[in-house]
Amino acid sequence: MDDLEPTLLLIPLVAVLAPLAARGLGRWVRIPIVVFELMLGILIGPSLLGWAVPGPYIAALAEFGLAMLFFVAGTEIAFDSFRGRVGRRAGLGWLLSLGLGVALGWTLDPGEAAIVIGIALSSTALGALLPILRDNGDLRTPFGRSIGAIGAVGEFGPLIAISIFLGGRDPGLSTVVLAVFALLAALAIWLAFRLPRGAMHRFVDATLHTSGQFAIRVIFLILAALVAVSIVLDLDILLGAFTAGIVWQLIMRDAAESAREAVESKVEAVAFGLLIPVFFVYTGVTFDLQALLAEPILLLGVPAIALALLIVRGLPASLAAPADADRRERVAVGIFGATGLPIIVAVMGIGVDEGVLTSGQAAMFIGAGMLTVLLFPLVGMAVRGQRVRRSAEPVEDDLL
């Protein structure tokens, strides 16, 4: 308990300092806040200053922060982006990434480690990219919708792969269990369509500014229910969290725009103001920097893995660029698509727990994920040049 008290204070302190640092440096270069959360977490963690230490209470809060990150990603899915060209190419790109990733992993370490590496290299950090797209006004543009489709497949696909291949069960049985979850998720989605939304939306609107906060309570109920189903079925909880976001989006699809925006603002306040920063700071606190420094080959592997992400994930992701995109924008799409971290953290944890990866190897991949979050969005925006701040445009051409 003595170690817990300073950690409970330091993590929110770092969460406050991160946006201040991002704003201070924003005059010269725009760096995502998550980078500062990670770096400051490493600074106060056991690897450097040793002021903050891992513990079960903060770990549980960080796990819930990761779940909220995937919930928010689920609420931002633009389903029309999956129709036609963009959806097909986003799915094809992910399958190519998974195949290339497993093949590369097999050359490094044949066996189950290859699957862990392949899943990590096929991921896209949609949750980390959404705030950047939103801040740049790109969320509803053809570029943003392409990134949304790539990111959705790059998060949902790895979660499915984790559930089938890394669940400790025979892949055939894992597929059956996953099918059971899919049926339960389909039931939840069916109920979302069948709910008397008019009455519910009126009640949500009536409690937006009262202590009732019905919408937020329903959100946590849906999130807890689908996460609980994932736990009971021995699936990754992020699968349930992602699905919960989709269910909530469907429930609110016909609500008044003012109500949707108000609820979204409250969800973002809880997610990005509290829970998600805890996850990223705690990831920094638990990052095994000493293991990297102890083996120079692992330290050199960090930029190599980042380059591998650019090739294995970025090149296939660029297939889903908008139909009218020029070469610069296609390159930018690939760079954004190669940005990965949350899935990498999750799958590396599984690899270490199952004994197929060492703590140092996991730190190498997580460090590469951190590097992509730091550099790739900045490089992607620079490659796009003057098109970064363009306003929303019609997307019908991408759906043909």
Q: What is the pLDDT of residues 108-127, one digit of tens each?
A: 877 788 999 999 999 998 87
Percentage, residues of the chain above pLDDT 90: 35
Question: Which letter, b or e, does each residue of 246-258 get, where b requires 16 or more Cβ atoms within 10 Å of its Cβ?
Answer: bbbbbbbeebeee
Query: What does the pLDDT read at residue 400?
Result: 35
**The pLDDT of residue 224:** 93
CATH number at residue 240: 1.20.1530.20
Which of 106-110, 216-220, 337-341, 346-350 is predicted with the least confidence, judged by mean pLDDT?
Answer: 106-110
The b/e string for 59-86 (b: 16+ C-beta within 10 A; e otherwise) is eebbbbbbbbbbbbbbbbbbeebbeebb
Predicted confidence band of residue 390 (pLDDT cuts 50, 70, 90): very low
Please give the pLDDT value at position 137: 77
Q: How far apart are CA 119 and CA 97, in angstroms?
A: 9
- The whole-number average pLDDT for the span 167-180 is 77
For residues 242 and 391, the model is more confident at 242
DSSP state of 392: P
Q: State residue 394's pLDDT score.
A: 40
Q: What pLDDT is attached to residue 323?
A: 85
In this model, does residue 331 exceed pLDDT 90?
Answer: yes
Is the model's pLDDT at 203 over the cut of 50? Answer: yes
Per DSSP, the residues of 22-53 read HHHHTTT----HHHHHHHHHHHHSTTTT--S-
Dist CA 147 CA 89 (whole Å): 12
Write down the pLDDT at residue 169: 64
3: which 2 tokens?
Answer: 């170690």
Mean pLDDT, the chain, whole residue set: 85
- Report pLDDT for 3: 56
pLDDT tens digits for range 282-297: 999 999 888 888 888 9
- CA atoms of 302 and 101, how far apart (whole Å): 16
Q: 263: pLDDT confidence band, cut at 50, 70 and 90?
A: confident
- Whether the model clears a pTM of 0.95, i.e. scores above it, the answer is no
Residue 397 clears pLDDT 80, i.e. is over it:
no
State the Cα angle at 68 between 173 and 354, rounded to 5°. Answer: 40
Cα separation, 366 vs 129, whole angstroms: 17
Angle subtended by helix axes 4-25 and 33-44, to nearest 10: 140
Average pLDDT over residues 5-10: 83
pLDDT tens figures, 29-86: 777 788 899 999 999 999 899 999 988 889 999 999 989 988 988 887 777 666 778 8
Confidence of residue 97 (pLDDT cuts 50, 70, 90): very high
Task: State the alpha helices, DSSP H only, in the chain.
Answer: 4-25, 33-44, 56-75, 84-108, 112-121, 126-135, 142-165, 171-194, 197-206, 214-232, 237-251, 257-270, 276-286, 289-294, 296-309, 315-317, 327-337, 342-353, 359-384
pLDDT score at 392: 39
Least confident of 189-193, 334-338, 372-376: 189-193
Q: Is the pLDDT of residue 339 over 70?
A: yes
User: Residues with Cβ < 8 Å from 278, sequence gap 6 or more?
Assistant: 11, 15, 58, 61, 62, 65
Give the integer Cα–Cα distance in Å for 175 and 169. 10
- Could you tell me the pLDDT band of residue 398, with boundaries at 50, 70 and 90? very low
Q: Give the highest mean pLDDT range of 91-105, 241-255, 377-391.
A: 91-105
162 vs 174: CA distance, rounded Å: 10
How many domains in the chain?
Answer: 1
- Low-confidence winner among 3-12, 317-326, 347-356 (lowest mean pLDDT): 3-12
Model pLDDT, residue 15: 92
Minimal CA–CA distance to 215: which of 256, 250, 266?
266
CB 17 within 8 A of CB 36: yes
- 167 pLDDT band (50/70/90 cuts)? low
Do 104 and 324 contact (CB within 8 A), yes or no?
Answer: no
Range of the domain at 195: 4-399
Cβ contacts of residue 244 below 8 Å, gap of 6+?
71, 74, 219, 222, 223, 225, 226, 227
Q: What was the pLDDT predicted at 131?
A: 73
Stretch among 61-70, 161-170, 266-275 having the lowest mean pLDDT: 161-170
Q: Which residues contact 136 (CB under 8 A, 6 or more apart)?
A: 381, 388, 389
Question: How confident is the model over 210-236, as a mean pLDDT?
Answer: 88
* Percent of the residues in the chain that have a pLDDT greater than 70, as a whole number: 92
Please give the span between the terminal C-alpha atoms of the chain, in angstroms, as a whole number.
59
